[in-house]
Amino acid sequence: MSERERFPGWHGTTIVAVRKGGRVVVAGDGQVSLGQTVIKGTARKVRRLSPGGHPILAGFAGSTADAFTLLERLEKKLEAAPGQLQRAAVELAKDWRTDKYLRNLEAMLIVTDGRELYVITGAGDVLEPEHDVTAIGSGGNYALAAARALMDGPLDAEAIARRAMEIAADICVYTNGNVVLESLDAP
């Protein structure tokens, strides 16, 4: 039996980011699960960072400790390259993939500075969404589909993100309706 089967680990979440009308919104649910048990319903998986005075929003799925380690590294990369989110994201992804310690971290990140929007993974990916919407986590595909369907309608970025999170929470057992939302205006 593998270690993952013996100890199921922290599982699931939903993070969605929507860019519309000069604003980017990142929303995440508050549920933390251990196997089939809800451990906490009010976790904050969306954070506002401001390395070097440049506001950044970040949402994470996966291990909390691993995500915090990655967010600290991202902040250091941004301090070394102020205002250059893409450069910092690429450097983080490169380190994450090649560093012996970092490559074992299990998390995914969505980051934005209000202008650029990226998903960063441990496989070395820095992905920019084509349709101004992206999502991660166990309910990510549900939130992504819902948000994409709502993008052409009259709703603003915040309303789209909230509705997408509601839909994901109705479908994904690892996602709850306790939403934390942060937004940034495009610079």
**Six-digit token string for 24:** 């980017």
Confidence at 157, pLDDT banded by 50, 70, 90: very high
Mean pLDDT of 134-162: 97
pLDDT higher than 50, residue 66: yes
pLDDT higher than 80, residue 7: no
Q: Note the pLDDT tens digit of each residue in 18-43.
A: 999 999 999 999 998 888 889 899 99
Nearest to 136 by CA among 48, 85, 61: 61
Q: What is the pLDDT of residue 103?
A: 82
Q: Note the pLDDT tens digit of each residue in 72-116.
A: 999 999 999 999 999 999 999 999 988 888 888 888 999 999 999
Mean pLDDT of 34-56: 90
* Structural domains of the chain, ranges and CATH numbers in brackets: 3-166 (3.60.20.10)
Confidence at 6, pLDDT banded by 50, 70, 90: very low
120 against 101, higher pLDDT:
120
Q: CA 180, CA 153: separation in Å to the nearest integer?
A: 23
Q: Reply yes or no on whether 112 is catalytic.
A: no
pLDDT higher than 60, residue 8: no
Set 13, 112, 134, 175: catalytic member: 13
